[in-house]
Structure 1
Amino acid sequence: MIRTKYIFNETTQTYEPLKRSTPQRFFRVFLFLTGAIAIAVLIFVFSFTFFESPKEKIMERELAQYQLQFNIMGDRLEKMQSMLDQLATKDDNIYRIIFEAEPIPKSIRQAGFGGANRYAKLEGYENSELLKQTAKKLDKIASEIYVQSKSFDDVYKLARKKEKMLKSIPGIQPVKITDLKRISSYFGYRIDPIYKVKKFHSGVDFSSTLGAPVFATGDGVVKRIRHSNRGYGNTIEVNHGYGYRTFYAHLSKILVKKGQKVKRGSTIGLIGNTGKSTAPHLHYEIIKNNRKINPIYYFFNDLSPAQFDKMIQLSKIPNQSLD
């Protein structure tokens, strides 16, 4: 409803409706329209600045999704890198030593990519650093996979040339995985279970069930057997050639004779508790060129890279032996 404005006429002494000229009316309409436009502009600017559009919300969700995918990819790359490191350790410390090949230098294993502008195309994005780090990880892993592949090719060629040697080298655990309760003591300084002093433990103790089978870990000839209730109890020593011998102790029963040929995996005795032993187990040693060495480096046919790495870590923890 339009409101009518009145003014007092002194001549007639009455109130009369105010009559505006056409210019005045146009001016009032102009002021009204200008104010409305100004308010509309302010509302638009405020909304654009402080509130996201539907398109922006979609883009933000997509960006968050990409960020999540990159993070997941980064975790997977880290796991792949860890597996490659384990393979490299096994390659240098086991395979190449066994086949008398030099370990691959770190400068070759971890060789980088040349060119300062290699990742320049990834500059200028909101997540440039994330993109560059992911690209660098991929390049590093690709390079290490190539080096490791070439190394395994070399080792394979050496193995083909030394097939008989490979069968003779101790390459499995002497106790079946299903019979093994735990590895109760590793190679190195351990607490003697009888005298309670720290002594050097020259093998690995496999805790198992009394009477479980014990296997030859490589092809060879039985060099020595011994029946005793002292020290290592009933023992077997196998000569594998190529400077390798293995020693099996605390057996309850010996199933081979001196001079007998044995194959890898053949049963040569049974788990026992003879001699200076506190529980049924097998004490197992590897001797290379008349020097006792850590047997866990020779379980390469039985363990995955992750299991091997875990065993290496466990072997560094001091504990008490069973003999």
Structure 2
Amino acid sequence: MSKVKYYYDSESLSYKKIERRKRTTFKYAAVFLLASALFGFLFVFIASQYVESPKERALKRDLQNTQLQFELLNKKMDEAEAVLANIADRDNNIYRVYFEANPIPEAQRKAGFGGVNRYKKFEGFDNSKLIIESNKRLDILQKEIVVQSKSLDEITKLAEEKEKLLAAIPAIQPVSNKDLTRMASGYGMRTDPFNKTRKMHWGMDFTAPRGTPIYATGDGVVARADNRATGYGNHIRIDHGFGYVSLYAHLYKYNVRKNQKVKRGDLIGFVGSTGRSEAPHCHYEVFKDKQRINPINFYYGSLTAEEFSKLLEHASLENQSLD
């Protein structure tokens, strides 16, 4: 029960009861509620500025973690770009130079993406710039990888062709050094053994006993193995591809047949003296694009430097040929 309050009335010299009007009570209540509301709003405002809610703290942690992940992603892209730049440098300045292919321009490797704005969906966020730049770098990096991958595929094909070429070129002597009696005559003007006139000798003569093995000087396919060419007697022609053909003449007998595939070093026949020949030997010729060339330029596959020097010395002598 609320206390009853009195006041002293000096005129009537008596105590009178204090009567509170309802309007005054309502006014006091309204002022109190308004003050409470203002105080509460002020408290909430100050708290929101200086005190984080659990949800805000969680969002802030997520944002910091996202920033960290993008920073780590950019560091990884730095490393990937460095590795890719090294590969591109070797690709342009080593691989493509060796295989005689044009280098890929830098502008083509690092070309961006034109047309519509690919990154519009990343705009309007707190870290839009970071996200957009990271995605641009990632897209360019992916494109560089595709360009480099296609380039390496091309280099692989060129290497395979180069490997086939190196295997196909006639690169060894048709008769082994240990089986040779001597290198009788080389490429150039020589004395004909039958009419004693000087004429062009289009190959090299390797003197060896009848039945000495003759080897294919490079990979290829046997184009001919017959005696239907004037002067050559029993002879073999091997088509090596890439414009190269080798010829082995005056054979005693064959060890291959037409259209047979052979590898460098395969036994294809035996030394004889058939056709227009003065003594057992292997007459050897090399053609490039249907033109006869000096076979001595192709013996890098079987001779030491000393052996090649001796062969070069004997081949240069303008002596009498054996055919």
TM-score by length of 2: 0.50
Greater radius of gyration (CA): 2
TM-score, normalised relative to structure 1: 0.50
